[in-house]
Structure 1
Amino acid sequence: MRPADPAEVDALHRLIMASLEDDQAEDVITIPLAGKSTIADHMVIASGRSTRQVASMANKLAEKIKAEFKRSVRIEGLQTADWVLIDANDVVVHLFRPEVRTFYNLERMWQFGDTVSSSLKPLPVPPAASTPEA
């Protein structure tokens, strides 16, 4: 695989963010991964209000990437559309129904201290579970 052209990665990221905005995705965040992970340069996480919206956003995004960049993307989870992963090589997109997003909490898993995008709000720390006395 050839090294990613930074201008092309930036253009791909902008296209994805604009598409999600056009489709009224909710709680869109981006996490920069360049230099921190080899899977991609950006991870985008967004929510849709229903499985239908999540599936529609994923399909439109795949079509736009193919039209603009002449490359196909890999899509997982489209059948149930609770959590759809779109792998566009340099940018990985996770589209969720809100309940599924809350359950998996990818934002917390991928935080890198202060390097997370400013659009990402800190998540509350859950209270410590109490253990019964033995």
Structure 2
Amino acid sequence: MTSPLASAETTSDQVLARVIASLEDDKAEDIVTIDLRGRSSIADYMVICSGRSSRQVGAIAEKLTERMKEEFGRICKIEGKEQGDWVLIDATDVIVHVFRPEVREFYQLEKMWMPSGTRV
């Protein structure tokens, strides 16, 4: 059953709020939201978070994609779930990266995408 939010009228802010809630529900750690509006055409927001293990990273990503389909009717593209080190979920307006902590530290996406002058 799809939610009343599953429509073309769904805003990127609504999707972002649900993404954050889903990540919090599944105990994702160190959740960071980066506003990309006016800076990139790939999405309105990027969310970066960590899971404690490969298994948790995969589970966080899987639950998020299920919730996006159920609540917004969105089929998200997902990459990297099999390895569980870094999973990318493309929810159209919101791009989500779920990392194991050491992989996140290695790539440091926050530093690349945060506005200049922002401390991570």
Q: Structure 2 length as normaliser, TM-score?
A: 0.89
Where does structure 2 lack aligned partners over 5 or more consecutive residues? 1-7
User: What aligned pairs does 1:48-127 form with structure 2 within 5 A after superposition?
Assistant: 48-113=51-116, 122-123=119-120
The counterpart of 1:36, out of the listed 15, 39, 62, is 39
Q: Please give the alpha-carbon distance, in whole angstroms, between the structure 2 residues aligned to 1:10 and 1:93.
A: 14
What does the per-residue CA deviation read over 1:39-73, in whole Å, with 9 as the maximum and x for residues that have no partner? 00000000000000000000000000001111100
Q: Following TM superposition, where does structure 1 have runs of at least 4 consecutive aligned residues deviating by more than 6 angstroms?
A: none
Give the corresponding residue for 2:12: 9
What does the per-residue CA deviation read over 1:82-103, in whole Å, with 9 as the maximum and x for residues that have no partner? 0000001100000000000000
Residue-pair matches, total? 113
Identity %: 56
SS in 2 for 1:38: coil
Report the CA distance between 1:111 and its aligned residue: 1.7
Where does structure 1 lack aligned partners over 5 or more consecutive residues? 117-121, 124-134
**Cα RMSD, aligned residues only:** 1.4
Name which one, 1 or 2, has greater alpha-carbon Rg.
1
